[in-house]
Amino acid sequence: MTAPDVPDATEHAIHEICTRAREASRALATASRSVKDTALLRIAAALEESTDRIVRANAEDLARGRAGGLNAGLLDRLRLDRARIAAIAQSVREVVGLPDPVGEVVRGSTLPNGLRLRQVRVPMGVVGMIYEARPNVTVDAAVLALKSGNAAVLRGGSAAVASNTAIVEVLRGALTDSDLPADAISSIDAWGRPGALCLMRARGLVDLLVPRGGAGLIRTVVENSVVPVIETGTGNCHVYVDASADPAQAVSIILNAKTRRVSVCNAAETLLVHRDAVEAFLPAALKALHEAGVALHVDSRAAQAADRAEVPTDPATDDDWATEYLAPELAVGVVNSLDEAVAHIRRWSSGHSEAICTKDLAAAQSFTAQVDSAVVYVNASTAFTDGGEFGLGAEIGISTQKLHARGPMGLQELTSTKWVVTGDGHVRP
């Protein structure tokens, strides 16, 4: 399993780290909930006790980021201060309160021949995470992995390397004071991109790799990995306003889905409107969106409605239908039917979240049956696609693939299952 263009020393180092993680994962797999929760509480306390050290390391990253011309948004994501570290410690304590998915009996039966079958939830083993410059993800990923009985091997963005290094040292130090091995949490940041490439190729040592970040990162991981991957994130989300929609309700849903937070994957990027809903809904909607600061890219029929509402727009192109803006911009189109809306979504959606606004039961049924996305809403904002909102308690990412996990991924999605079969000397005829 040699990776191209990777120095032997790097390959050796990553192999060593993953092997230690694998050893640690065996202790984690059979650790009781109370042992894991005690370790998590120790981690929360250690983060608070080490606030000054983490803030100092983060200041290095911030200074390097400013010098390198990182924009204000990225610098804000990178920043850790006393309050943010306290919030992170608090979120660790919330994970303590979540049920342990390990050991849950998913299915079970006694076969006619008397064999007793149980399908039991077990940890994945070693979970790799590759993510971008948000140091809070380092803690999130490590504690969710640990709670679900997995060892974590972390690769954060180079912009946050000092912060991540400090945090991982704190986390490992906390484990040293617990009944779990420190190797349950490791970082490979010191080995840069070649190290990440080795992680993607550590077949037999890494059971699951979760990339979290932009489309480019995810693409790289999918293309290069020979370990199983769960894709997360890209959200080109649609709101469709049906002929029968309540216009005022539909306006509040598209406003919320578009403007609540524009930089997140569950934000709406395209509004589709049934032609029979245009008059009652679209001018008011475009006016409200414009007043909320949203730039509008519209097809020809939507342009007419915009003119009536005296709202400035520019023409939508295929690029607009394809784009996840993550910005205060929205593509708007008029369709002749629900089926045309479904066809548009099939062509352009990334399969994350889509919503229909309708009062018609058959329309709701047809839309939810035909739209093949992780989450399909009826009369609700796409902004709800979130592990916390869904009551999953925590979120490791939002899967846009169909294998293993789809939609918000909580602790359960970090587990596999094992069949345990008990007999009395059973042999198969």
Per CB under 8 A, residues contacting a second copy are: 26, 29-30, 109, 111, 115, 117, 119, 122, 124-125, 203, 207-208, 222-223, 226, 228-230, 246, 249, 252-253, 255-257, 260, 346, 364, 368-370, 372-381, 383-384, 389-391, 401-404, 406-407, 416-428
Residue keyed to tokens 């649609």: 238
- Residue 274 amino acid letter: H
Contact of 187 with 168, CB cutoff 8 Å: yes
Contact of 251 with 280, CB cutoff 8 Å: no
Q: Which is nearer to a second copy, 109 or 176 (CB)?
A: 109
57: nearest Cα among 170, 148, 142, 139: 170
Q: Which is nearer to a second copy, 30 or 90 (CB)?
A: 30
Q: Which is nearer to a second copy, 15 or 301 (CB)?
A: 15
Q: Which is nearer to a second copy, 291 or 314 (CB)?
A: 291
DSSP string, 293-317: T-EEEE-HHHHHHHHHHT---EE--
Minimum distance of a second copy from residue 246's CB (angstroms): 7
Residue keyed to tokens 């011309």: 69
Minimum distance of a second copy from residue 381's CB (angstroms): 5
β-strand partners of 144: none
Q: Which is nearer to a second copy, 16 or 389 (CB)?
A: 389
Q: Which is nearer to a second copy, 91 or 390 (CB)?
A: 390
Residue keyed to tokens 């930089």: 263
Minimum distance of a second copy from residue 21's CB (angstroms): 14
Rounded to whole angstroms, how far apart are CA atoms 105 and 119? 6
DSSP string, 99-118: PP-TT-EEEEEE-TTS-EEE
